Structure formats: C-alpha cells, structure tokens
Chains A and B, each alone.
Chain A
Amino acid sequence: MKSNGINVQNLVKKFSSITAVDDLSFTVNAGELFGLLGPNGAGKTTTINILIGLLKPTSGKAVVGGYDVLKDARHLRSIIGVCPQEPAYYTYLTGQENVELFGNLHHMPKNILKNRAQDLIEKIGLGEDAKRKAGDYSGGMIRRISLVMALINDPDIAFLDEPTVAMDPQSRRAVWQFIRDLKTQGKTVILTTHYIEEAEALCDRVGIIDNGKLIALNTPKALLAEHNVENLEEVFIKITGRKIREEV
C-alpha cells in the first residue's frame, strides 16, 4: 500500500553521550504540512536525517511514503526531496546548473526538467540570477536555489530543514508562498523551524520538540487553546519554562 505519509515509532538516536532523539513517535498524514518546532540542538535535523536515510537510528522504526528507511532507502530516495539545513550546492556551477544537475540525478526527462527548472526559478524570484555562478550568491539567494534543488524532482514528500533561516522578511514570505503551493499540489511536507511565526503561518500541525523529546503535538490553534496562550512561544514557555530562542 503506497501512502505518502510518515510514521515514526519510538525513534532514538544517540551520539556517544548525547541522546539527540529520545523516543520520538508521531505520524504525518499524506498531504499534510507538518512542522517540527524546537530550539537549537532539539534534535530536529537529526530526526530529518534519519527519515531521509542518512543516519541510522539507534533504535526505533520510521516508515516514509510506505518505505522503511532502514530497509528500503533506495525506493525512498526516488520519492523524496530534501532541502538540508546547511545549503549544499556547487559553487562553480550556476544556480540553474545546480538545479538541473539534481533533476538529472532524479532521472527526470530532459524537456520536463528544463521547463520545471525555469518555472521554479521564476517562482522563487531568482530569474536571471540563476545564470550566475552560485559561488557569487548572497545567503538568501543560496537558500532559495537550494530549495529549488530540493523540489526539482517534484517529490511526493519534501523535507525542508529550516528553509527560511537568516532570510529577510520579504524573501521569507516568498518562500512561505512557495511552500503553501506544495500543499495545494497535495505534497506531504515536513518542515523544521525555530521561527514561531513560520510554524503558525504554515503548518497544519506542529510537533514541538525539546532535548530530543516530543513535548507537544497538535494544530497551532489547538495548541494555543489547550494552553490558553497567544502564540506557540508561550506554549513552549509553559511546558519547559524556557524560551525557544534565548534573547542575545
């Protein structure tokens, strides 16, 4: 049975003394935009890396799009798109070449790839800049091209690890729109962030994690109602006694 959902059961990941992911269990429905919200070091990236088959969990089980990440990584990779937290791209290739390379790695037919690359580049607001070497890009441009690289293969399930970190508000809004469009296309999206507004604005449901543990999971509205607060930050404070982002 093929389903574009995600099922995580009792997932644990230990790095020597640190337990980065601590008995995590949750389900993401097909077509859902699911947020993982948590402070630095909460275990968001580690969780994503297990779900995309890059890291082996210490224990537990994860099924993504019907494929067990431990047993069927090969099939898994053909249906997912991954936008890593640290945008990885070839500095000596242009933005467009980076995008087309990843389309080719996903075996996309040439003509479809060309058109889709063009469309996505336009939509994310890179336009002519896509013809410049990515090594010369600004931080925000790099994040945007990285997102297009992740989605070029029209994945059923997209993993976006902090896609808008360090972006100016305008670019952030543009990327939000881009992510919402994914949802209207019926894609499953799992998004990590430590921006409260981002989780509130985008996500169907939000899982709040802290120290590798899931401490809350519901729709943003239900979470606010449940804790009788104004925003998700306050939800986090109520549960942990800390802020998600310590003020500098």
Chain B
Amino acid sequence: MKIQTLSALTKKELKKNIRIPGYLFLTLIFPLILTLAFGLAFGSFGTGETTYSIGVVDLDNSDWSDWFKTNLSDSEVMSISSYDDIGTAVSDLQQGRVDAVVIIPTNFGQSCDSFWADPITPSSWYNATVDLYVDEGSLIVSNAIPPLIQQIIMQTLYGEDFSNTPQPIQLGTAEKVDAEHFTQFDFMAPGMFAFAAIFTTMIIAESFTEERATGLLNRIQVTPTTPSEIITSTIFANTLLAIVQVSIIFIMAGIMGFTPKTEFLGFFIAFVLVLLLVICNIGFGLITATIVNSPGAATGVSFIFILPQMFLGTFVPISEDLGRLVPSFYVTDALTSLFLRGAPALSETILIDVLVVSIFCLIVTIIGIILFTRFGKD
C-alpha cells in the first residue's frame, strides 16, 4: 500500500461526503438534528415526575407484609415495583429506575403479631426495622419519602385511625444512595451514536455502486491502485467522519443536558466502539453494493441492514434477545453501561461488548471485501 494513493483516495472520499449535499446531511447534519430534536423532546427541559416509584423487597412474605405493600401502592403518590433481592433493587436505584427502595424485614409479620397480642406491653414486642434507601441526589425524594413510608407503616399496623403511639416497627434512617437523575433523553443518547453510524451502510453502498456504474472503479483499476488501497482509504475517510460525527453528538447531547458518567478512557472506548460499528457498516455497504447494480437500488437494499440495526440496536428498544443479532445493540449496550451506569471503562461487560462488536466487524468487513472484490465489479 502506498501512502500517496491512500491519502489521495481518502481526501477524495472526504470531499465526497462534504460536497455531496445528501451525504453531508447523513454524516454530519443528520446526527446534529437528531440529537437536537430528541434532546428537546425528551431532555431535561421536559416533564417533572408526579409520582415516586418505590422498589420493594419483601423478605417476610407474610399477610402483614402483603398488607403493607397494598397500602404503599394504594397511596396515590407512589408506584410500587417488587424486587426479589436487595442488590438488584439498589442497583436500579443507582441507575435512577426507582426513587427509593423499601426493605421489609423477615420479622415484619412477627413483629405486628406480637404487637396485637399485647398492644400495651412494649416489652413483649418483637422489634423490627424497615430499611429505606433513597436517592440522595433528589432533595424532594429524600425529604418526602421517609415520612410517607412512616405513615404507611403505622397505617398498616393500626388501621385507618392511627395515632402517634409507640410501636414495634421502626423506620430505619434513610440510607442515601447516589443515584443519577435521568431523563428519557439520557437513555436515548447512547443509541444515537450507533444510530448515526448505521447510515454509513447506505453511503458506502450508494457510492460504490455509483463508482462502478460510471466506470470509475474500472478506471481506478487500470492505475497501479489495488482493491485493498481502495477499501482501506474508504475506512480511513469514514473513520475520520465518524470521529467528527461522534464529537458532534457529544457536544449536542451535552448542550441538551446529557452528562456521561465516564472518564477519558470511557470516551476513548466509546469512540473505538463507534468506529468499529462504522467499519462493520462499511462491510454491510460493500455487501449491498455486491448485490445490487444501481445506486438507487443500493439505497433501498441498504435498509435491509439499516432497519434491523436501528430498531433492534439503538434507542428504539424492541427486544433485547433479537437485539443480540445486530452489532449496533452491543455498541448501544456498552455506551449505556459507560455513560449511564458509570461502569468502569475496562469492566467485563464493556470488554465483552467491544469483543462482540470487533468480531462482527471483522466477519462482516471480510465478507464485504471478499464479495465485493470477487463479484462486485462488473
């Protein structure tokens, strides 16, 4: 491979993406508008919460604990989701899926029974403590929830008319958990990076089909240029464009209130993932260009690769199982872990995602190159 050839072809590719309005739109303007539109629609400028969602872990499973849960959900300001274990509940709290977590202790029912067996002799009661975790980031939640829960504990124990009398069940001091405050936009932002990269398929399919139809590929082929130089320069150019694209989305999403919980290494991995996805989509584009024979058909057929990646693997979640079939899913998943869950950049989940995307990328790109250089010429 000659540097001079690669650089000339890369420059040509970049000029194509900047000078052809349709491509300029897809690579740079579309991500900008996308981020802006979704940011305005779903970002922090939008809705405030009206009910608190409470995660409940029932370690007791008695009639009393059921009654307590019924009272919680009857309260109009709370919506309840049950968890089997404390770990999951607290991690959902950390990720902002619930506002607080209530733990009903194993001796909850026993304690209630002991109270009613002898309501006036506190020394005969079994004491129990209901533990509470709240989101420390939200002043409203951390202040409003404990009294509400306290009230419902008493309501459960005494019935409707309760008074502030001694009782066996205490509400533990609210444990403050550092939770993120996410808007819907925050959940969408990781998908946006993948979303924009997916359209590389269309650009590659169209431009290769066009270059073939106009005889340009043949013309280049009668110079000392090799197919690997053509494809490498395409990858170079699209990598550069992807870096610009990702930066635009970061900046726009930042303006829209998106604050990724990650460090430099996390951003680096995010870039790498998007680049791998772009390369993978270059492979899809080459496969498309092999199948079709006109640029118009290329546009249509490229959606065979674009739509599944879009609907199964970006911010439009349909099914997680089906998502595993498309590379964009793993990119979105990794970016979500990085940006929203604050997962360490080199944690296992992320590295597995990087690995899977790399494997996708390698296989698809190799298939694309082989097909295109074998059958995609004339």
Contacts and interface: CB of A to CB of B under 8 A. Distances in A.
A101 B8 contact: yes
Contacts of A82: 219, 222
A170 to B, nearest CB: 27
B316 interface: no
B224 A107 contact: yes
Interface string B1-35: 01011011100100110011000000000000000
Contacts of A104: 4-5, 7-8
Contacts of A80: 222
B218 interface: yes
Interface range on chain B (Cβ under 8 Å from partner): 20 to 34
B214 interface: yes
A104 B223 CA distance: 10
A100 B7 CA distance: 12
Given A54-B218, A90-B216, A105 B224 contact: yes
Given A90-B12, A97-B15, A107-B4, A102 B218 contact: no
Interface in A75-106: 77-78, 80, 82, 84, 86, 88-90, 92-93, 97, 100-102, 104-106
Interface in A101-126: 101-102, 104-107
Contacts of A97: 12, 15
Interface in B220-265: 220-225
A58 to B, nearest CB: 16
B215 interface: yes
A212 interface: no
A105 B222 CA distance: 10
Most buried by A among B5, B8, B219, B221: B219
A106 B222 contact: no
B319 to A, nearest CB: 41
B223 to A, nearest CB: 4
A87 to B, nearest CB: 8
A7 B229 CA distance: 31
A245 interface: no
A74 interface: yes
A39 interface: no
A77 B226 CA distance: 11
A53 interface: yes
Contacts of A133: 19
Contacts of A102: 219, 223
A52 interface: yes
A92 B19 CA distance: 6
Interface string A53-65: 1100000000000
B223 A88 contact: no
Contact of A54 (B5, B221, B224): B221
A92 B20 contact: yes
B375 to A, nearest CB: 15
Contacts of A53: 222
B5 A105 contact: yes
Interface string B191-235: 000000000000000000000001110111111110000000000
Per CB-CB distance, the 5 closest pairs between chain A and chain B, nearest first, are A104-B8, A88-B215, A105-B223, A92-B19, A88-B219
Interface of B: 2, 4-5, 7-9, 12, 15-16, 19-20, 214-216, 218-225
19 contacts: A54-B222, A77-B223, A80-B222, A84-B215, A88-B215, A88-B216, A90-B216, A92-B16, A92-B19, A97-B12, A100-B8, A102-B223, A104-B5, A104-B8, A105-B223, A106-B224, A107-B2, A107-B5, A133-B19
